[in-house]
Amino acid sequence: MPLNILRLKHVTVVTTKKNVKALRRETYTVDFIKKQIEEFNIGKRHLANMMGEDPETFTQEDIDRAIAYLFPSGLFEKRARPIMKHPEQIFPKQKAIQWGEDGRPFHYLFYTGKQSYYSLMHDAYGKILDIEKHKNQLQAKGLFSEKNKTIDLIGSRWLIKEELEEMLVEKLSDQDYRQFVRLMERLLQSGAAEEEFVQSFRRSVTVQSKKQPIEPVQRDAQGMAFSTSEGKRKSAKAEAVVYEHGSGRIKVNGIDYLLYFPVLQDREQLMFPFHFLDRLGKHDVTCTVSGGGRSAQAGAIRLAVARALCSFVTEEEVEWMRQAGLLTSDPRVRERKKPGQEGARRKFTWKKR
């Protein structure tokens, strides 16, 4: 055992897996991991041969598909199903030994307990001080000029706490993480000099959130251009067909909307997408709806109509609809009743004795 530990000195520093507490005592040596990687690669090639595919271009997704095909599992818990992944993703990574043979630690901040985190904070603060010193020097000489800060704050986000923990070696607390984010923001504000350093701690974000809903293209039938889409709300499902040219008539399940929705609030919901786009009397709608109650059906039709209207409208207006909340499917459903309680939230009457 001691020989193995000494050999671990030169392994690259990696993170420990949080959940795997039982395996913490087990140390995986470099040789063991290497052997596992070799076995994995050989197994990958065998699997590719079995599936009749090219072993050279066999990706992880192909492996997953092959395993799911060869070992079909009816287990509900996805993590209990058979998997075949690279050993780096399976074996919890170990922290290297941070001290030499004489027991003296290598890093000067070892005794803080979180050496990488504190050294990172120290470096960042050092950079801030350098930038300020530089600024003061320029101001003293009179050469200081307000430079344009090219900060792309919108297309990217800071690392989340888990990602930071992964990047550094050790566990962080919430306050550590918040302090880190504050320091980074201060560094960003003080100047655009350390762009690369800061960008290494940012990840890009899906720039346009509207990329998710895909509008179906118009279809022609009997010369009339129309668009179909579906909408859901609670347990109501609706399918709406919106015609491009019409006079504002709406038919629900073959019945006129005035008779199908006697309540004003539901009719307002039907009118909402049209009124928002100033297209009140310009479209005809035929829709079918089933399930749910009256308000849920109205909400489902509203969503279906809004999605169908996307195909007749500019991209900008689609973004406006999205920001007005017309294109989001409402995820709220009825909460289940729990045992030991009278309802979802209501508890039984508390009796002192």
Partner 1 sequence: MAAPLVKALLRCSDLTLGVRSAALRFPGLTQVRWSRYSAEFRDPLIDKEYYRKPLAELTEEEKFDRELKKTQPIKAAPSAHTSSVFEDPVISKFINMMMKGGNKVLARSLMTQTLEAVKRKQFEKFHAAASEEQANIERNPYTIFHQALKNCEPVIGLAPILKGGRFYQVPVPLSDRRRRFLAMKWMITECREKKHRRMLMPEKLSKELLEAFHNQGPVVKRKHDLHKMAEANRALAHYRWW
Task: Pick the closer one to partner 1 by CB: 17 or 134.
Answer: 17
Q: What would the x/- binding string for partner 1 be over residues 186 to 225, using CB under 8 A?
A: -------------------xxxxxx---------------
8 A C-beta contact, residue 253 and residue 291 = no
Stretch that binds partner 1, among 98-106, 110-118, 119-127, 326-334 (CB under 8 A): 326-334
Q: Does 280 bind partner 1 (CB under 8 A)?
A: no
50-58, 101-109, 156-164, 190-198 -> range binding partner 1 (CB under 8 A) = 156-164
For 19-88, what is the HEC assignment? CCCHHHHCCCCHHHHHHHHHHHHHHHHHHHHHHCCCHHHCCHHHHHHHHHHHCCCCCCCHHHCCCCCCHH
CB of 41 to partner 1, least distance (A): 18
Residues 75-134 that bind partner 1 (CB under 8 A): 88-89, 93
Number of residues in contact with partner 1 under rule CB under 8 A: 52
Asked if residue 346 binds partner 1 (CB under 8 A), the reply is: no
User: What separation in angstroms does the CA of 79 have from each of 40, 65, 76?
Assistant: 19, 15, 9
Work out whether 299 is an interface residue with partner 1 (CB under 8 A). yes
Those residues whose C-beta lies under 8 Å from the C-beta of residue 280, and which sit 6 or more positions away, are 248, 271, 274
Binding flag, residue 341, partner 1 (CB under 8 A) = no
The gap from C-alpha 341 to its chain's centroid, in whole angstroms, comes to 34
How would you classify the pairing of strands 284-290 and 236-243? Answer: antiparallel
- What whole-number distance in Å separates Cα of residue 92 and Cα of residue 96? 13
Q: Pick between residue 32 and residue 320 the one whose CB is nearest to partner 1.
A: 320
Asked if 202 and 148 count as a contact pair (C-beta separation under 8 A), the reply is no
- Residue from 11, 14, 23, 109 touching partner 1 (CB under 8 A): that is 14
When asked if residue 150 is in the footprint of partner 1 (CB under 8 A), the reply is: no
Helix (H) or strand (E) holding 219: strand 219-221
Helix (H, G, I), strand (E, B) or coil at 238: strand
Q: Are 242 and 227 in contact (CB under 8 A)?
A: yes
Residue 32 touches partner 1, criterion: CB under 8 A: no
Among 39, 123, 163, 185, binds partner 1 (CB under 8 A): 163
Window contacting partner 1 (CB under 8 A); options: 40-48, 61-69, 112-120, 169-177: 169-177
Q: CB atoms < 10 A from the CB of 243, how many?
A: 18
Give me the least distance between CB of 101 and partner 1, in Å please.
Answer: 30
> What is the Cα–Cα distance from 79 to 74, expressed in whole angstroms?
12
Tell whether residue 45 is a contact of partner 1 (CB under 8 A).
no
Token digits of residue 126 = 């050092």
Going by C-beta distance under 8 Å and a sequence separation of 6 or more, which residues neighbour residue 272? Answer: 302, 326
Give counts: helices (H), strands (E), the chain.
12, 8
**290 sits in which H/E element:** strand 284-290
Q: Which of 10, 78, 332, 334 binds partner 1 (CB under 8 A)?
A: 332
- Asked if 331 touches partner 1 (CB under 8 A), the answer is yes
* Shortest Cβ 25–partner 1 spacing (Å): 20
- Residue 220's SS3 state is strand
With beta carbons less than 8 A apart as the criterion, state whether 312 and 240 touch. no
Residue 314 within binding range of partner 1, rule CB under 8 A: no
Task: Single out the segment in contact with partner 1 by CB under 8 A; choices: 66-74, 124-132, 186-194, 261-269.
Answer: 261-269
Minimum distance, C-beta of residue 325 to partner 1, in the bound complex (Å): 3
Contact set with partner 1 (CB under 8 A): 14-15, 17-19, 88-89, 93, 153-155, 160-163, 166, 173-175, 205-210, 263-265, 268-269, 271-272, 275-276, 278, 295, 298-299, 303, 319-320, 322-326, 328-333
